[in-house]
Amino acid sequence: MLPETLAPPDRGGSHAEARHAAQGGEARLATSVHNGGMSDAPQDPGPQDPGPLGPAAAAGPPPEPLPRAAVAWSVGAVWALALVLGVLIALLSHPLQYASWISLALGVCVIASFGVQLATQQKDGFVNRLATTLTGSFVILGVIGGILGLITLGH
């Protein structure tokens, strides 16, 4: 037979009644029902130091924040790519294909943005850097696309 603390509780309440009969007292029954059938003996709280909390704790101190110059280069490089692609589209493509090439250039800028921001290996500020990079690329290519559209209407 299992000891009292390891025995599964009975849903019908007969476990508490059986213990009441075995121990012979109302106060003991009230205490066991009040604390869910657990004994009144103090519990060992366990070790006070939980040790390492996971891979992040094993990685050491947090890395230094990315310098402003590195942020500027990581964002500006993709903006420069958008500008170069827009100029190449204006110079090399047929006017009826401007919209297709501009949308392809924006897709290239999205992939380049992820690549450049992941290459910084800094998770702090990643979303803000990525949003800034993509917004700037969208604005640059949008302005170039608007100018190319006006030029196409003028012909």
Q: How many domains does the chain have?
A: 1
Decide if pLDDT at 134 tops 90. Answer: yes
In a domain, 49, yes or no: no
- Give this prediction's pTM: 0.60
* 1-5, 77-81, 99-103, 109-113: segment of lowest average pLDDT: 1-5
| Domain ranges, residue 126 | 68-154
Residue 76 within a domain: yes
Residue 20 within a domain: no
**Contact by Cβ (8 Å): 20, 29:** yes
> Is 98's pLDDT higher than 70?
yes
Closest listed residue to residue 109, CA positions, set 74, 132, 87, 79: 79
Residue at 93 is within a domain: yes
Q: For residue range 49-74, list pLDDT tens digits in order.
A: 666 566 666 666 777 888 889 889 99
Q: Is 72 among the domain residues?
A: yes
Structure confidence at residue 155 as a pLDDT band (50, 70, 90): confident
- CA distances 115 to 23, 77, 118, 140, Å, are 71, 11, 5, 19
